[in-house]
Amino acid sequence: MSRHNFKIVLLGEVTKGRVGKTSLTLRFVKNSFDDHQQSTIQATYLQKELRIGDKTVTISVWDTAGQERFHALGPIYYRNADGALLVYDVTDHDTFIRAKNWVKELRKVVGDDITITIAGNKSDMKNRQVSDEEVAEYAKSVGAVHLHTSAKANRNVDEAFLDLTKRILEKKSSAPSRTELLGKQNSGIIIDNTERRVTRTESRMYGKNGGISVADEPKTTQEQKQCCG
């Protein structure tokens, strides 16, 4: 059994309000939302062990400060990151714009090695400002996965982290086992011409929705859990 230790950075704008990245992490790690928990732990660095198939993966989630004045400090945190979870607020379009800028920056600083998930948080709220089509198209164009999450309603929180971790794992293990990969081509794994491996999860998501929004389709996430597990 192999062991892995992945670093995931958590990015989210702070302007008028918060996008809820802290609640999201806390929900994931403690599986409890802020309303009820009495907690003394900090939510800036969290570690959790996940079982993915026969692999044990430890992920360290690094929170970053979202204030505009600290944006220049980002690269210090991205260094050696395997994944990034970009959180925006579905009720605030500006935070989505900011998330897009982050994607650009991540690609510039870390390159294609970093696996990105974009999470539209507060998806339990009615007054959405960001349309599903917009995000789906955008996510697809940058090779990221998009999910609608709600820390409050505990929707898609585990899935967001789990899916990100799986994709990191797949990306990491694809390099040494290319031959194995080629052998499996028939079973539905696609290798695109830039040799980037499109995961089963991704390909199905792309295929099904033309976009990648899984937020309101719990069924899809269920399957997702099994497919790599």
Partner 1 sequence: MPKNLLEYEKDHNRLIIALRESKEHGSIMKFLKDKNATILVPHDQSMVLPENRMNVEFVQTHVIHANPEDGLHWTSMNGVKGCFSENYEVLSVLSGPPRGKDLMHFFENESAYLTKSDKKVEIKRIHVLRDSDIDINGTTYRIVLISEPIEYEGCDWSGPSLSAVTTPSTLRTMFSSGPSTPVNTAHEEDPPLASSSSYSTLKRSSSTLSVSSLAGSESDATDISCPPINFSSTKRPANALINELINMHNIPDNKLFSENERTQDKSKKFSFQDFVYKMRHKSAIGLVRKIKKFIFEINRDPYTDDVPNKVVSFLDEIAKEMSVHIQWKGAKEQELDNAREGIEKYVMTKIYSKVFSPTAQDQSQDHLLATRLSSFRKLKPEHLDIASELLTDSSCNQAVDELKKMNNYKTPRDKMICISNCCKIIFNILTRSNPKESPGADAFLPILIYLVMKANTPHLHSNLKYIMDFRNPEKMLSESGYFLTNLQSSAIFWETVDYTNLSINKQEYDKLINGQYFNDDEEEEKNLAPKNSVDQNEELEKATPVIVPDNYLFNKTIDYDDLKKIVDDFSHLNVNVNVDVDEIKIGELRGLFEQYVQFKKFFEQVSRLVEK
Give the binding site for partner 1 (CB under 8 A).
5, 7, 10, 14, 18, 21-22, 25-26, 34, 37-45, 47, 60, 62-67, 69-70, 72-73, 76-77, 79-80
Cβ proximity to partner 1, 72 vs 111, nearer residue = 72
User: In this structure, what token pair is assigned to residue 113?
Assistant: 């090695």
Q: For residue 8, with 0-12 CB atoms within 10 Å meaning exposed, 13-18 middle and 19 or more buried, which class applies? A: buried
Taking the complex as a whole, how short is the minimal distance between the CB of residue 110 and partner 1, in angstroms?
15
Closest to partner 1 by CB, 72 vs 219, is 72
Q: What is the DSSP-derived secondary structure letter of residue 114?
A: S
At its nearest, how many Å lie between partner 1 and the CB of residue 140? 29
Task: Answer whether 100's CB lies under 8 Å from 128's CB.
Answer: no
Instruction: Give least dist CB 51 to partner 1, A.
Output: 19
Whole-angstrom distance, CA of residue 132 vs CA of residue 196:
26
Q: Which is nearer to partner 1, 73 or 97 (CB)?
A: 73
The least distance separating partner 1 from the CB of residue 65, rounded to whole angstroms, comes to: 4
| Comparison of 45 and 51: residue with beta carbon closer to partner 1 | 45
C-alpha–C-alpha distance, residues 49 and 59, integer Å: 6
Decide the pairing of beta strands 190-191 and 197-198: antiparallel
